Amino acid sequence: LLHPHSVHRSSPSLLLLLTSPISLCRPAERSAEDVDIILTRLTGFKAFQRFHPSLLLQICSCAFYEYLGKVFRQGDIGTSWYAVLSGSLDVKVSETANHQDAVTICTLGIGTAFGESILDNTPRHATIVSRETSELLRIEQREFKSLWEKYRQCMAGLLAPPYGAMETGSNNDSEYNHNPQERPHLPNYDVPSEKLQRGGKVMRNAILSRAPHMIRDRKYHLKTYRQCCVGTELVDWLVQQSTCVHTRSHAVGMWQVLLEEGVLNHVDQELGFQDKYLFYRFLDDEEEHTPLPSEEEKRESEEELPETILFLAQMGPDALLCMILRKPPGQRTGDDLEIIYDELLHIKALSHLSNTVKRELASVLIFESHAKAGTVLFNQGEEGTSWYIIQKGSVNVVIYGKGVVCTLHEGDDFGKLALVTDSPRAASIVLREDNCHFLRVDKEDFNRILRDVEANTVRLKEYEQAVLVLEKSPRASSPGNIRYTVLSGTPEKILDHFLETMRMDTHHSDPATCSVNDFVLMHCVFMPNSQFFVCYIFNPVCTYHAVAPPGSEQERLEYAVTCKRRVLNLALRWAAVHTHHLQEEPAALIFLEELYGSVSNDSRILRALKDFVPDLEKVVKLHSEEAKVKKQKVLTQFSNGDEKLVKTQPIRNYDDILLKVYCSDHTYTTIRVAVAATGSEVTSAVADKLASNDDLLLVHLSSAGEKQMLKPNDVSVFSSLSINGRMFACPRDQLNALTPLPDQEGPSAGSMSSFELMSSKDLAYQMTLYDWELFSCVHEHELLYNTFGRQSFRRTTANLDLFLRRFNQVQLWVVTEVCLCGQLSKRVQLLKKFIKIAAHCREFKNLNSFFAIIMGMSNPAVSRLTQTWEKLPSKFKKFYAEFESMMDPSRNHRAYRLTVTKIEPPIIPFMPLLLKDMTFSHEGNKTFIDNMVNFEKMRVIANTIRAVRHCRSQPFNPEVCQPNKNHAEVRGYVRKLCVIDKQRTLTTLSYRLEPRRT
Q: Which tens digit of pLDDT belongs to each residue from 826-845?
A: 999 999 999 999 999 999 99
- Rounded to whole angstroms, the Cα distance separating 81 from 141 reads 7
Out of 324-333, 445-454, 776-785, give the one with best mean pLDDT: 776-785
Decide: pTM greater than 0.85: no
Answer with the residue of higher pLDDT: 477 or 925. 925
Amino acid at 593: E
- Rounded to whole angstroms, the Cα distance separating 520 from 103 reads 40
Handedness of CA 949, 950, 954, 955 (dihedral sign): negative
- For the stretch 813-829, pLDDT in tens is 999 999 999 999 999 99
Out of 245-254, 421-430, 771-780, give the one with best mean pLDDT: 771-780
Inform me whether the pLDDT recorded for 175 exceeds 50: no
- Rounded to whole angstroms, the Cα distance separating 6 from 804 reads 10
Inform me whether the pLDDT recorded for 233 exceeds 80: yes
DSSP 3-state of 778: coil
pLDDT of amino acid 963: 58
**How many CB atoms sit inside 10 A of residue 434's CB?**
14
Nearest to 516 by CA among 526, 528, 504, 525: 504
Return mean pLDDT, the chain: 83
No. of H helices and E strands in the chain?
35, 30
Q: Under 8 Å CB-to-CB from 292, ≥6 apart: which residues?
A: 208
**How many CB atoms sit inside 10 A of residue 956's CB?**
20
Average of per-residue pLDDT across 471-481: 62
Q: How far is CA 696 from the centre of its chain?
A: 38
pLDDT of amino acid 590: 83
- For the stretch 944-994, pLDDT in tens is 999 999 999 999 887 666 656 678 899 999 999 999 999 999 999 999 999
Nearest to 537 by CA among 561, 562, 557, 567: 567
Confidence of residue 670 (pLDDT cuts 50, 70, 90): very high
- For the stretch 859-876, pLDDT in tens is 999 999 999 999 999 999
- For the stretch 40-68, pLDDT in tens is 777 766 567 666 667 777 888 888 877 66
Average of per-residue pLDDT across 693-717: 92
- For the stretch 510-542, pLDDT in tens is 566 788 899 999 999 998 887 877 766 555 445
C-alpha distance from residue 88 to each of 9, 70, 154, 397, 923 (Å): 15, 14, 27, 17, 12
Contact 424, 383 (CB under 8 A): yes
pLDDT of amino acid 105: 67
pLDDT of amino acid 387: 94
- Rounded to whole angstroms, the Cα distance separating 351 from 732 reads 44
Verify cis geometry, omega within 30 degrees of 0, for the bond prior to 906: yes
Contact 858, 834 (CB under 8 A): no
- Rounded to whole angstroms, the Cα distance separating 225 from 599 reads 75
Average of per-residue pLDDT across 870-898: 86
Going by DSSP bridges, is the β-strand pair 366-370/436-442 parallel, antiparallel, or unpaired? antiparallel
- For the stretch 311-362, pLDDT in tens is 898 888 888 988 998 888 888 998 899 989 988 887 878 877 888 888 899 9
C-alpha distance from residue 145 to each of 57, 74, 76, 80, 163 (Å): 16, 21, 19, 10, 12
C-alpha distance from residue 761 to each of 86, 626, 788, 979 (Å): 39, 38, 39, 22
Amino acid at 541: V
Verify cis geometry, omega within 30 degrees of 0, for the bond prior to 192: no
- Rounded to whole angstroms, the Cα distance separating 583 from 509 reads 29
Nearest to 546 by CA among 611, 609, 496, 492: 496
- Rounded to whole angstroms, the Cα distance separating 284 from 203 reads 11
Nearest to 312 by CA among 255, 249, 240, 380: 255
* Three-state secondary structure readout of 179-197: CHHHCCCCCCCCCCCHHHH
DSSP 3-state of 397: strand
H/E stretch holding 672 reads strand 668-674
pLDDT of amino acid 198: 92
pLDDT of amino acid 506: 54
- Rounded to whole angstroms, the Cα distance separating 833 from 880 reads 12
- For the stretch 418-444, pLDDT in tens is 888 888 898 999 999 888 999 999 999
> Quick one: 307 exposed, middle or buried, by C-beta within 10 A (0-12, 13-18, 19+)?
middle
The DSSP letter of residue 467 is E
